[in-house]
Copies of this chain bind each other. A is one copy, B any other.
Amino acid sequence: MAYSPLVRELIDAFRCLPGVGPKSAQRMTFALLQRDRNGAQRLARALEGAAEGVGECEQCRDLTEAPICALCRSDQRNHAVLCLVENPADIQALEEATDYRGLYFVLKGRLSPLDGIGPAELGLEVLATRFAQGVVREIILATNPTVEGEATAQYVAEMARDANIQVSRIAHGVPLGGDLEYVDSGTLSHAFAGRTHYG
């Protein structure tokens, strides 16, 4: 009873955002209505525009409003190297952290048969087509180090080997600045087994 219908509707609508519960939704609603109506309208337009305009790149499945994304169109990038990631956000993380100059392929998920996510849902036939075209010479597997991410990496590695494409996997181990005593045992055993020659 205490909220008017438009206010109630906005609080409810905010709940679709990840990590936003009833209190946060209320706080966001009051903050926008009391102090930032322009921000509210800008957010409304941005949501409308993105929800209608953004699709996926035909080549790499990244989110983009163009048929082919800016990275895949760029002649500044090495089209012979692909980096396989689970999510669009991973591209941003890699672009910020590394000087990688190749292209990407976004799975938008990981193999998870129990959830009904198989090769088709991850666009692996699109990836197979690219392998068959003969431009790609190397693929870097940057899926997450979870059971499903590992299984996905294995699956794609086999596809790549069948197409005579060089395969590598990003390194997993103790993070920089990490303390052995506090690293989880899975990471530690992985780091130990995967030790490299030193000095």
Q: Which A residues are closer than 8 A to B by beta carbons?
A: 1-7, 9-10, 12-14, 16-19, 24, 26-34, 36-37, 39-54, 63-66, 69-71, 87-89, 91-92, 95, 108
Closest B residue by C-beta to A29: B50
Closest B residue by C-beta to A76: B1
CB distance from A30 to the nearest CB of B (A): 6
With A18-B31, A29-B50, A50-B6 as known contacts, state yes or no: A70 contacts B1, CB within 8 Å: yes
- Would you call A47 and B50 a contact (CB within 8 A)? no
Per DSSP, are chain A's interface residues mostly helix, strand or loop, or mixed? helix
For the complex of A and B, the 5 pairs showing the least CB-CB separation, nearest first, are A16-B39, A13-B46, A44-B47, A40-B51, A4-B64
Closest B residue by C-beta to A49: B6
